[in-house]
Structure 1
Amino acid sequence: MVAAAVVAGGLLAGCAGQPGTAAVVDGRTITTAELATTYEQLEPIFNGAGAQDVLGVLITEPFAAQVAAEKGVGVNDDEALELLRSVAVQSLGEEKGEALEFGPGAIAVGRYSLAASALQGLEDAQAAAEDYQGRVAAADIEVNPRFGEFTDDLVVAPPAAPSWVVPEGGRDGSSATPEPEPTP
């Protein structure tokens, strides 16, 4: 029994890829530390965005930025930082917004936002979107199962809860085991 659990644990750990890796995109590693830092930096200004949302953007940002650059509407880190600062000041006020620090992951999210907006504003926006989607679809993308699965919708879907995990609030009575009755 213990040996089976050890083997199963080893197999599950193998699915997760390299320790500390949230995703690998065409050989480029997005670490769990990078994801955590980016999420923490953006959480005060992007209410409701989860770790899967941030990971999805970190996965797809290079493709959006590349297509935007090729279409003549490329963005740079300074513009991305300016966008993040502007959103932070609007969300938190000048003092708190200016005090926030943004690292490379957060700046990548800013670049993605600017690139996506620029691509949508193009005269041939549909062709640009198809180019972007095609590049993402052709990429070798592996997501650590702990974070979910990268879908055809270009997002990271949260992992499904294993059947043995009882949901918050419990299960409905139809699947519950009946209470044993005492024998007389």
Structure 2
Amino acid sequence: MTLSVRRSLAVLALGAALVSAGCSVNRAETAAVVDGNVITEGQLQVAMAQVNSMEPALLQEPLTPSGALTALVQAPVVLDVLADKGIVVSDTLATREAQGRGVANPSGETLQVIRLASAITAAQQSGQITEADGAAITEAMGALDVEVNPRYGTFAPETASIQLTAPEWIKAEEIPAP
């Protein structure tokens, strides 16, 4: 084998190792994998910090890690359903919204959360979202292959959200009655 062929094989082997290593939600930097798309810890933390720093606040309550992850998992499905109803919030509008609330350079994930919140608000205000739409969203969410890093909980398809759970090895302490 020539030197260039060996180098090419080494690069391909390294690439394959890196790709396969990135597929596990047990890796510390992976928050979730949704149909093969990775949401990293960094993406989650930046989105949560940027949304929570907005003034005036975008949401009524600050995002928690599981709430931010739920929004990032739900956004593509919900935004597709609402787009079919003519409710679309572009990245340009979301960027302006972020900048108007003090976030000069929002991340892509922050824009997803803004688009989701804005589209849901628009749908509710216009009366264009029905119980049937909610059921369709939940059904579509249930069809997703969602793996969540256990530190955030587990994905509950029936509610299309990340539910906080305690690992099986943690037992609640029983306090004897006085």
TM beyond 0.5: yes
- Alpha-carbon shift at residue 67 of structure 1 (Å): 0.8
- Write out aligned runs for 1:137-148 (5 A): 137-148=142-153
How far does the alpha carbon of each residue in 1:118-150 deviate from its partner, in whole angstroms, 9 at most, with x for none?
333344522322222221111111111111111
Q: Select the residue among 51, 56, 81 that pairs with 2:70.
A: 56
CA RMSD of aligned residues (A): 2.8
Instruction: Say whether residues 1:36 and 2:55 are aligned partners.
Output: no
Q: 1:81 aligns with which of 95, 98, 106?
A: 95
Q: Once superposed, which parts of structure 1, at least 4 consecutive aligned residues long, lie more than 4 Å away?
A: 161-166
Cα contact 1:38–1:103 (8 A) shared by 2: yes
Q: For residue 154 of structure 1, what is the aligned residue in structure 2?
A: 160
3-state secondary structure, aligned to 1:146: coil
Q: Which runs of 5+ in 1 are unaligned?
A: 1-14, 89-96, 176-184
- Check the 8 A contact 2:99/2:105 in 1, yes or no: no
Q: Alignment identity in percent?
A: 26
Kindly indicate whether the alpha-carbon contact (under 8 Å) linking 2:33 and 2:146 is maintained by their aligned counterparts in 1.
Answer: yes
Distance (Å, rounded) in 1 between the aligned partners of 2:25 and 2:144: 19
Q: Deviations over 1:2-55 (max 9, x none)?
A: xxxxxxxxxxxxx84344211111111111111111112122235532111000
1:107 to 93, 111, 125: 111
Q: Which runs of 5+ in 2 are unaligned?
A: 1-23
TM-score, normalisation: structure 2 = 0.70
- Does the residue aligned with 1:59 lie in a helix, a strand or coil? helix
| 2:134 aligned to which of 117, 126, 129 | 129
Task: Tell me the secondary structure at the aligned position of residue 39 of structure 2.
Answer: strand
Aligned positions, number? 149
TM-score of the two chains, using structure 1 as the length reference: 0.68
Deviations 1:140-162 (A, max 9, x none): 11111111111222221223166
Q: Is the 8 A contact 2:98 2:104 kept in 1?
A: no
CA–CA separation in structure 2 for the residues paired with 1:110 and 1:19:
26
Whole-Å Cα distance in 2 between the matches of residues 80 and 124 of structure 1? 21
Aligned equivalents of 1:144 and 1:78: distance in 2? 31
Cα distance change of structure 1 residues 164 and 50 upon mapping to structure 2, 3 Å threshold: same
Secondary structure of residue in 2 paired with 1:142? strand
Sort the Cα spacing of 1:63 and 1:161 in 2 relative to 1 into closer, same or farther, 3 A: same
Q: Distance in 1 between matches of 2:46 and 2:154?
A: 21
